Chains A and B, each alone.
Chain A
Amino acid sequence: MGNVLLQYATVLMLTIFVGIEIIAKVPSILHTPLMSGSNAIHGVILVGSMLILGEANTNLQEILGFLAVILATLNVVGGFVVTDRMLEMFKPKSAQPKAAAKEEVAQ
């Protein structure tokens, strides 16, 4: 058991450094999408929620697990969709004139 804990702790430590290293040079204009994107990633708790509902054997565990899956799904789906919508705005220039032209026609 102790060895397993040590293995997890190793993963934890290394990931902390990766996490810090990887976003150290992000330009400030991308802070909001980055926050939103990492928000979606912690939605991985959905996997944990599925496991606890999948192993539930009392009513209490079933109810809590069911709620957890709903909340975690909201987190995953909402997180990725919102981030994508934000990043859609940063599309390359070639796509821009078309959208602008369409708008002018509409007006």
Chain B
Amino acid sequence: MSRETLIDLLYLFSATTFVLALKGLGSPKRARMGNMTAAFGMLVAIVATFFKYVDGHPLHHVWLILLAMFIGLIVAVPVARFVKMTAMPQLVAIFNGVGGGAASLVSITEFVHIKSTHPATYVTLEVLLGVLIGTVSFSGSAIAFAKLQELMTGRPVTYPGQQVINGIVGLASLAVIVTILVTSSTPLLWVLLALSFVLGVIFVLPIGGADVPVLISLLNAFTGLAVAASGFTLGSNLLIVAGTLVGASGILLTRLMSKAMGRSLSNVLFSAFGSNVTASGATERADGRSVRSGTPQDIAILLGFASRVVFIPGYGLAVSQGQHVLRELAEELEKKGIEVFYAIHPVAGRMPGHMNVLLAEANVPYEQLVEMDEANSELQTADVALVVGANDTVNPAATDDKTSPIYGMPIIHADLAENVVFLKRSMRPGFAGIENELLYNPKTTLVFGDAKDTLTKMVAAVKAG
């Protein structure tokens, strides 16, 4: 067997592990194994590549390659290992962005390399698509990262004529692509690079708040497609398979995510959702209605008399790092014979499934986590629904108010419970920036303050009581 055949067989092996890994990631039991499988397949592919011949000679610059890998390794491991769990979404964003950047660089370099051989038009087209998609993913992810890391406002950024300007930049990019196809001019390649960069930025700016995770998923799919395009250029089945897998599954995943929010993908991408927020910090609204607030001790007594309590956690819980205290509260209540479970909205937290990860990290037993539909039927018999740092996911406007921007989003019906308790920092609306009618419901009691502080006080009060 020739060297090249052996390497191709190893690549085939890697591609197979990627498919198996994605399959494994679909079930809680096999997910971790799946990830390990893909990592092993990746290692095999990388080692095999060191023995590959390009243009009839072994790889040049092996030491440079090893040095670059070493630099990447010593940066990535500590960052990935020690960043807080609440910061996961922006971490995924940035690691996705660098992948897009790499795909773009590969395409550019390949263009410079093969240009002298007068490549066929379709080869140039693959290169240009790789540059376009890869760069959009790179700069888009960078902005998404900045939004999630709060380096800039997390809300949509809008300006007059935004969609027209975006359209013009998009069309200009396509025009440059066509021109390069005809003239195969290298300077224009740099123009395309710059245009793609700008396109990524202005595409992401109007997307904000809870929509950013959906956006990251889409950019993830983009990077996959850019990798597939590089695969065409380099003639590598491995890159085509891996890139296309990620691209196709990523686009489907993006659609599943927007569906979980009751919205269409185009609505997520182009509607600048939540930009016209006129959030008032006041506890009273214009019509003079006020809310009822209570102390942690009041709530502890209320909980003590309950037989069934539902926790509805949201991102505010994660921000205050209150997961562990919440679990403690659950344990104290269980000691008194009170039944406790957690109702998890699919988009609670900042990414779908984020809340499950955070609660699992706090050692909350897996079987106490109940998904939305089941939670809604259980809530009817619950005595207290304790909403911790969630807002939009329990907002009845999603079912009642046809004019509300979140109308149609499936919610957890906290209002079905006998009593509703909100732990909130202030009266400010949630991510989507919409008033929550439930706060004014006569059943509802609000406890203002940091979720973790309030929960700690409640644990103490329950213990004492």
Chain A residues proximal to chain B, CB less than 8 Å? 1, 4-5, 8, 11-12, 15-20, 22-58, 60-62, 64-93, 96, 99-100, 103
With an 8 A cutoff between CB atoms, is B112 at the interface?
Answer: yes
What's the minimum C-beta distance from B363 to chain A, rounded to whole angstroms? 5
Interface string of B56-78 (1 = CB under 8 A from A): 00111110110011011101110
- Do residues A67 and B105 form an inter-chain contact, with CB atoms below 8 A? yes
Q: List 19 A-B contacts (CB under 8 A).
A: A19-B249, A19-B252, A22-B245, A24-B252, A30-B353, A33-B35, A41-B42, A43-B99, A44-B18, A55-B59, A56-B61, A61-B109, A69-B69, A72-B99, A73-B76, A77-B80, A84-B32, A87-B31, A93-B366
What's the minimum C-beta distance from A42 to chain B, rounded to whole angstroms? 4
- Do residues A69 and B73 form an inter-chain contact, with CB atoms below 8 A? no
A86 to B77 alpha-carbon distance, docked (Å): 15
- Do residues B35 and A87 form an inter-chain contact, with CB atoms below 8 A? yes
- Do residues A44 and B243 form an inter-chain contact, with CB atoms below 8 A? yes
- Do residues A74 and B72 form an inter-chain contact, with CB atoms below 8 A? yes
A17 to B244 alpha-carbon distance, docked (Å): 10
Q: Report chain B residues within 8 Å CB of A18.
A: 19, 245, 248
- Do residues B109 and A56 form an inter-chain contact, with CB atoms below 8 A? yes
For residue B328, which residue of chain A has the nearest CB? A107
Interface SS of B by simple majority: helix
- Do residues B109 and A32 form an inter-chain contact, with CB atoms below 8 A? no
What's the minimum C-beta distance from A14 to chain B, rounded to whole angstroms? 9
- Do residues B353 and A93 form an inter-chain contact, with CB atoms below 8 A? no
For residue B122, which residue of chain A has the nearest CB? A5
Starting from the known contacts A29-B346, A41-B224, A48-B230, 17 additional A-B residue pairs (CB-CB under 8 Å) come to A16-B244, A22-B22, A24-B252, A25-B26, A32-B357, A41-B22, A42-B224, A45-B103, A48-B227, A50-B59, A50-B65, A60-B112, A69-B72, A78-B76, A85-B85, A87-B35, A90-B28
What's the minimum C-beta distance from A16 to chain B, rounded to whole angstroms? 5
What's the minimum C-beta distance from A38 to chain B, rounded to whole angstroms? 5
Ranked 6 nearest A-B pairs via Cβ: A73-B72, A19-B248, A54-B59, A75-B99, A69-B68, A31-B352
With an 8 A cutoff between CB atoms, is B427 at the interface?
Answer: no
What's the minimum C-beta distance from A70 to chain B, rounded to whole angstroms? 5
- Do residues A48 and B39 form an inter-chain contact, with CB atoms below 8 A? no
- Do residues A37 and B38 form an inter-chain contact, with CB atoms below 8 A? yes
Q: Report chain A residues within 8 Å CB of B287.
A: none
- Do residues A45 and B99 form an inter-chain contact, with CB atoms below 8 A? yes
With an 8 A cutoff between CB atoms, is B313 at the interface?
Answer: no
Q: Report chain B residues within 8 Å CB of A37.
A: 21-22, 25, 31, 34-35, 38
Q: Report chain A residues within 8 Å CB of B59.
A: 50-51, 53-55
Query: Of B46-54, B145-153, B163-171, which stretch is located at the interface?
Result: B46-54
Q: Report chain A residues within 8 Å CB of B58.
A: 54
Chain B residues within 8 Å of chain A by Cβ, number: 114
A32 to B328 alpha-carbon distance, docked (Å): 26
A61 to B62 alpha-carbon distance, docked (Å): 14
Chain B residues proximal to chain A, CB less than 8 Å? 14, 18-19, 21-23, 25-29, 31-32, 34-36, 38-39, 42, 45-46, 49-50, 52, 54-55, 58-62, 64-65, 68-69, 71-73, 75-77, 79-81, 85, 88-89, 91-92, 94-96, 98-99, 101-103, 105-106, 108-110, 112-113, 120, 122, 216-217, 220, 223-224, 226-228, 230-232, 234-250, 252-253, 256-257, 260, 344, 346, 351-354, 356-357, 360-361, 363, 365-366, 369, 371
Contact for A30 among B25, B36, B62, B106, CB less than 8 A = B25
Known: A39-B95, A53-B68, A61-B113. A32 touches B245 (CB 8 A): no
Contact for A54 among B29, B61, B346, CB less than 8 A = B61
- Do residues A47 and B22 form an inter-chain contact, with CB atoms below 8 A? no
- Do residues B223 and A47 form an inter-chain contact, with CB atoms below 8 A? no
Q: Report chain A residues within 8 Å CB of B81.
A: 81, 85
A67 to B134 alpha-carbon distance, docked (Å): 14
What's the minimum C-beta distance from B225 to chain A, rounded to whole angstroms? 9
Q: Report chain B residues within 8 Å CB of A4.
A: 235
- Do residues A33 and B31 form an inter-chain contact, with CB atoms below 8 A? yes
- Do residues B92 and A82 form an inter-chain contact, with CB atoms below 8 A? yes
What's the minimum C-beta distance from A33 to chain B, rounded to whole angstroms? 6
- Do residues B365 and A47 form an inter-chain contact, with CB atoms below 8 A? no
For residue B244, which residue of chain A has the nearest CB? A15
- Do residues A89 and B49 form an inter-chain contact, with CB atoms below 8 A? no
Known: A30-B25, A55-B113, A61-B113. A74 touches B98 (CB 8 A): yes
Q: Report chain A residues within 8 Å CB of B91.
A: 78, 82
What's the minimum C-beta distance from A26 to chain B, rounded to whole angstroms? 4
- Do residues B352 and A28 form an inter-chain contact, with CB atoms below 8 A? yes
